[in-house]
Structure 1
Amino acid sequence: MATRYLYLARHGHADALGNLTGTGREQARSLGKRLAHLPIRTVWHSPLPRAADTAHEIDLFLSGITSVAEAPELIDHVPYVPELEETPPSWRAFFDGYSPEDAAAGHEIARSLTARFAHAPEQQNDEHELLITHAYPIAWLIRDALDAPPVRWLGLSSANAALTVIEYRPGALPSIGMFNDMSHLRPELRWTGFPKAPHP
């Protein structure tokens, strides 16, 4: 049975202007080394520079026949703006000011994201694809794989250069092989992209 292996990673640590820091480049290279043995043929990245640069850093360690390309669906976006009654109190200030038009545009990107990537391969061979994106699109793809209510993308966070794997097979439910795995990163490179707090 052909399987689509979707490897998801948030871009490396970036500065306030959205450019990779030295830490972000080291994170990306560590992820590249971890993935080097896999038959990844395509690396897709968000149009934003921090994601594109992460993809190119990772590609240094992949096979010479890997292609690196931009996918507009991977742009940083809010995939679903919940109704007030389903919004956790801690998130209400975040969504304050989102217009119906902005919410609809973000949800349309989210629909395009799942339509393009969240399904079994159409051919008979396995597919291995790496998506370098942002925390919210990763959360949306996980939510979609679990067939959870749209609001449940909230609270799914990813560290910079952490690895998530979803497997898609014909006639089967998606399988989440791992989520937010940071074992390829040195301890001091882990948990960036999260608020400052004690972490295991």
Structure 2
Amino acid sequence: MATRHLYLARHGAADAFGELTDVGRTQADLLGERLAALPVDAVWHSPLPRAAASARVIGTHLPAVPVAEAAELVDHVPFVPSGPDLPPAWAGFFDGFDDAERAPGERLAAALVERFARTADVETHEVLVTHAFQVAWLVRHALDAPPARWLGLNSGNAALTVIEYRDGLPPTVVLFNDMGHLSGDLRWTGFPPSVRP
């Protein structure tokens, strides 16, 4: 039975303009070292500069592996909860979202799932360099959780999440937000400040 292995990573740390920082490049480099031992077939990245730059750094550790853009990986809000599904702590974030803003995000989220969250005809190992919301959406989908459950599934910069897809079986979340390849000073970037384990 062929398995599709998705290695999901949020881009490395970026500045306020969305450009990869020196810390972000180091994070991506360490993630590339970690992935180098795997039989990676492709590296896909969001069109945004911080993800594209991270993918290029990761790609230096994967000779002859194609690194290409996938529009479905772009940063977007995949689902806007409402009513009882909207946690009060998130109300301010979604304030002002209307149907004109919701619909494109939901279409992109559906396209992301359609392209990547399924089995393949042959065994594949693909790296997806994307954004926190997209990692959360794919994890939520793999767990068959309600749409609003993508909220709060935070991913650190260059953290690794792995999902496997097999015919006839539900998806398997193998790892979530693993930062074992990063030194202590490079972990937890991209998260709000709080006590860390």
TM-score by length of 1: 0.97
Matched, 1:44 2:41: no
Matched, 1:160 2:157: yes
The secondary structure found in structure 2 opposite 1:43 is strand
Match runs of 1:5-154 below 5 Å = 5-62=5-62, 64-121=63-120, 123=121, 125-154=122-151
Q: Is the 8 A contact 1:41 1:65 kept in 2?
A: no
* 1:44 Cα offset (Å): 0.4
Q: Which runs of 4+ in 1 moved over 2 A?
A: none
> CA–CA distance in 2 between the matches of 1:108 and 1:51?
21
Letter of the 1:114 partner, please give it.
V
Letter of the 2:33 partner, please give it.
K
> CA–CA distance in 2 between the matches of 1:126 and 1:39?
10
Among residues 152, 172, 175, which one is paired with 2:172 in the alignment?
175
Letter of the 1:53 partner, please give it.
A
Identity in percent: 58
> CA–CA distance in 1 between the matches of 2:15 and 2:194?
19
> CA–CA distance in 1 between the matches of 2:97 and 2:126?
33
What are the Cα deviations for residues 98-121 of structure 1, in whole angstroms up to 9, with x where unaligned? 111110110000000000000011
> CA–CA distance in 2 between the matches of 1:95 and 1:16?
21
The secondary structure found in structure 2 opposite 1:128 is strand
* 1:85 Cα offset (Å): 2.5
Q: Is the 8 A contact 1:84 1:92 kept in 2?
A: no
> CA–CA distance in 1 between the matches of 2:49 and 2:141?
26
> CA–CA distance in 2 between the matches of 1:5 and 1:130?
8
Q: Is the 8 A contact 1:29 1:57 kept in 2?
A: yes
The secondary structure found in structure 2 opposite 1:32 is helix
* 1:195 Cα offset (Å): 1.2
What are the Cα deviations for residues 13-32 of structure 1, in whole angstroms up to 9, with x where unaligned? 00000001100000000000
Letter of the 2:78 partner, please give it.
P
TM-score by length of 2: 0.99
* 1:41 Cα offset (Å): 1.4
* 1:84 Cα offset (Å): 2.6
Gaps of 5+ in 1: none
> CA–CA distance in 2 between the matches of 1:145 and 1:108?
18
